[in-house]
Homo-oligomer: A and B are copies of this chain.
């Protein structure tokens, strides 16, 4: 379900940095130090985007892409290059590429460009990353909102975490100690009553009319998602 990005860079440090950063924002990555096995992988795997250094030791980037295109591989490409000369970008050398970013690059910018390219290629924005489903609710951990019967409700960080662990443990009664340990990691100095209030606030958010009893209280024990 996640988008998979193939990265080619001969500098191992940069490669790792890229992989880590892209993974951390929810992409799957496949890293390569050379173009050696890339074509094969492109044929076998579902790759959504290629991110490659234009100045590889073995082959010039745009040449390689040209080759791919001739083989009917049309995966979008973003080039990374040390050359920041506008000329290069303009004069068609980046033929076949969908975007271009120069080293040293800002990771935020790169991610934005990646998103843009993917969006362009991907009509359906599959933002299905990091969502939890439970009955009629869909919890989006990234956006910090829960969608219940097609209405979106913004949640705070705490509310999100709370709902998340409740969904993860649906059907189980979670006592206050458990919740404190797992949500307020600073276990000790959190008042038990605090949980009551947090639960109350969450209940209020996800069920303002108070007609659906999502969260049930077991007196003397704790709470559970029924």
Contact = CB atoms under 8 A, between A and B. Distances in A.
A20 B66 contact: yes
Contacts of A28: 36, 58
Interface stretch (A140-148, A191-199, A203-211): A140-148
B224 A143 contact: yes
B63 A220 contact: no
Q: Which of A132, A144, A177 has the most CB of B within 10 A?
A: A144
Given A31-B58, A43-B141, 9 more contacts: A16-B63, A20-B63, A20-B66, A23-B63, A142-B171, A142-B172, A143-B218, A144-B221, A156-B220
A189 interface: no
Determine the interface band of chain A, counting residues with CB < 8 A from chain B. Answer: 35 or more
A72 B162 CA distance: 13
A107 interface: no
Contacts of A161: 72
5 contacts: A20-B66, A20-B67, A123-B181, A123-B182, A143-B224
A71 B24 contact: yes
A86 interface: no
Given A142-B172, A172-B142, A221-B144, A44 B132 contact: yes
Interface in A56-83: 58-60, 63-64, 66-67, 70-72, 74
A123 B172 CA distance: 13
A198 B194 CA distance: 32
Contacts of A60: 16
A106 B164 CA distance: 36
Interface string A11-35: 0000010011001100011110000
Contacts of A168: 43-46
Contact of A46 (B130, B141, B156, B169): B169
A181 B173 CA distance: 26
